Amino acid sequence: MLGNNDNSVNRKDFEGQDLVSNYESNQLEWPDEMRQAILECLKQNESYGVRRRLLLDVGCGAGKLTKVLADDFDHVIGVDVSKSMIENARKTVTNSNVKFELVSDDLLPVESCSTDLVTCGISFHYLNTPVFLAECDRILVDGGILACLVYGPNILTSLDGRPIANYSADSSRWKQVLREFHINCGVNETVREIHVSRYAAIFKSLANPTKRWLHVAKSDRKYTVKKMLDYMSVIAGYRTKKYPEPDKDPINIFRQGLVEILRHAGLDGNDDTEFMVTFEFSAMIIEKKKPFGIA
């Protein structure tokens, strides 16, 4: 699947072994509650003929989400446009029922009416929406489900639980700092938002009456300033561009903003300053159900 619209990713954004290993070690783990909630959605559609035969994970990256669901399906296919991601996924997810394919066009490489679940783990916004949804309609079995997973907004706290910043709060400085980073990296408007609002316009425009959001899980992760900067350096295509002037380098600007926020909360803001980030996980669910009597 190659997105050809404004949202499509520059393929190089996710290339390079150092990027993949950095992304892998700093990327959040998908919580088991999310896995269970998605499986529950499938279960509810068993009367349509949905089973757990085939899962297609689109934009699978290094296979983090693929791995979480791998044991639940007879067959699993992960597809991605990044060669480095696919190579890494093949190394780290070795279940015999799982295969990974490098893709380069708009077609999902599975047969029509063959797939019980399609997942996108923070990858839906890179895809060409109408083409992708038409492909999902083609490949899903009746009652089959498309689950587009995303996380955020997030809350920063000190290790002893004191609030530092909240992405959702009105006029949140943290939100501003995160948005500035994306803008400075040249990311388009759609993907600047980190929460469900990123998909809000698409969600609103969908005619499918089954569309809904699952807001299922929260998860904490400890970061240091350095770890957060490492993570930021592998998103938003930061590494694919050159920033000759240090004061215009998005990471330096981001660091200043983060340090300012941490200091405001009484932390010192050095590279090894630790803080907690709590993320919310959500999934946009769309089911393939045709109204009775309509082809």
What is the footprint of ligand SAM within residues 122-161 (CB under 6 A)? 122-123, 126-127
Task: Report which residue type is found at 1.
Answer: M
Between 64 and 195, CB nearer to ligand SAM = 64
Shorter beta-carbon distance to ligand SAM: residue 103 or 183: 103
Which DSSP state fits 63? S
CB of 61 to ligand SAM, least distance (A): 2
By CB under 6 A, name the one of 37, 41, 50, 58 that touches ligand SAM. 58
Q: Name the minimum Å distance from CB 148 to ligand SAM.
A: 10
| C-alpha to C-alpha distance for 221 and 231, rounded to whole angstroms | 13
Structure tokens at 155: 């809350």
Stretch that binds ligand SAM, among 46-54, 56-64, 213-221, 247-255 (CB under 6 A): 56-64
Count Cα atoms within 13 angstroms, Cβ side, for 252: 7
Question: Is residue 265 at the binding interface for ligand SAM, with CB under 6 A as the rule?
Answer: no
Q: Please choose, out of 52-60, 224-232, 259-267, 269-277, the segment that lies near ligand SAM by the rule CB under 6 A.
A: 52-60
Among 26, 42, 59, 77, binds ligand SAM (CB under 6 A): 59
Residues 191-209: b if buried by 16+ CB within 10 A, e if exposed:
bbbbbbebbeebbeeeeee
Task: Name which of residues 9 to 28 contact ligand SAM (CB under 6 A).
Answer: 9, 14, 27
Look up residue 267 and give its amino acid: L
Beta-strand runs (E) in the chain? 54-58, 75-80, 98-102, 115-121, 140-157, 163-166, 212-224, 274-287
Instruction: Return the closest-CA partner of residue 202 out of 281, 146, 256.
Output: 146
Q: Rounded to whole angstroms, how far apart are CA atoms 254 and 184?
A: 10
Q: Which is nearer to ligand SAM, 59 or 153 (CB)?
A: 59
Q: Is residue 63 within 8 Å of 93, Cβ to Cβ?
A: yes
CB closer to ligand SAM out of 41 and 60: 60
Determine the angle formed by the axes of helices 225-232 and 17-26, rounding to 10 degrees. 130
d(CA 158, CA 276) in angstroms, rounded, equals: 6
Is residue 100 involved in binding ligand SAM (CB under 6 A)? no
With tokens 């489900």, the residue in question is 145
Q: Which residue is nearest to ligand SAM (CB)?
A: 61
Residues 65-94 that bind ligand SAM (CB under 6 A): 65, 79-82, 85
Stretch that binds ligand SAM, among 47-55, 121-129, 134-142, 158-166 (CB under 6 A): 121-129
Q: Which of 3, 16, 152, 153 binds ligand SAM (CB under 6 A)?
A: 3
CB 184 within 8 A of CB 250: yes
**Which of 16, 61, 143, 144 touches ligand SAM by CB under 6 A?**
61
Residue 105 CB, shortest distance to ligand SAM, in Å, is 9
Taking CB under 6 A as the criterion, the residue among 16, 121, 153, 250 binding ligand SAM is 121
Site residues for ligand SAM per CB under 6 A: 1-3, 8-9, 14, 27, 58-61, 64-65, 79-82, 85, 103, 121-123, 126-127
